Amino acid sequence: MEITAFLDRRLTRRFETYDSDQDGFIERSDFEQAGSRTVAEFGLSADDLRAKRLHEHLLGVWDRLSAVTDTNDDDRISLTEYKTAFAHRLLERPESFDDTYLPFLDTLMAVADHDGDGHLGVDEYVRWSVALVNIPPSAARAAHARLDHDGDGLISTDDLLAAIRAFYFSEDPDGPGAWLFGPLD
């Protein structure tokens, strides 16, 4: 897979959002911290089934990501390792990508969809984005506005999946995927 300049910027941005403690590496603890922040943001106890499922999914993402990217087996992923894994086809095609992300998004929706309407309003979207992905509230609001295609103030799991897919596979700098994790430097 060719890493274009635009994809390189997106991968760098995504790496930064994974790196909760901003130490320049992605580690299991970054996923644990993100899960804990999100569970706390939505007032869930550690034994709440939704909290447990979120933590399980996050650690599953860590396990899959580290298995493919941590080439020197130091239990952490550098930016170089992360980008190299993408160059070597970490993401084969959008359809296989969906198989991994859809169950995670369903779990995230169970936590973040506080009113249970099956969609995320702007406040719900901002809360999970700040807690889980560590992006500023203003960037989360801008992302929500871009994902809200029909202007009803709500986004669905399908909208999120399409945006995540576009983040990795689309070269459209104005598309919703390009803004998913905040502005690109």
| CATH number, residue 82 | 1.10.238.10
**Domain assignment present for 182:** no
**Domain assignment present for 185:** no
Residue 3's closest CA among 180, 175, 172, 168?
Answer: 168
**Domain assignment present for 118:** yes
CA distance linking residue 123 with residue 127, whole number of Å: 6
pLDDT at 64 over 90: no
pLDDT-derived band at 93 (thresholds 50, 70, 90) equals low
Phi, psi of 78 (to 5 degrees): -85, 165
- Give me the domain span that covers residue 62: 5-176
**Domain assignment present for 181:** no
pLDDT-derived band at 90 (thresholds 50, 70, 90) equals low
**Domain assignment present for 31:** yes
**Domain assignment present for 112:** yes
pLDDT-derived band at 89 (thresholds 50, 70, 90) equals low
Q: Name the amino acid, one letter, at 141.
A: R
**Domain assignment present for 13:** yes
> What's the domain count of the chain?
1
pLDDT-derived band at 140 (thresholds 50, 70, 90) equals very high
Q: How far is CA 174 from the centre of its chain?
A: 19
Neighbouring C-beta atoms of residue 68, cutoff 10 Å? 17
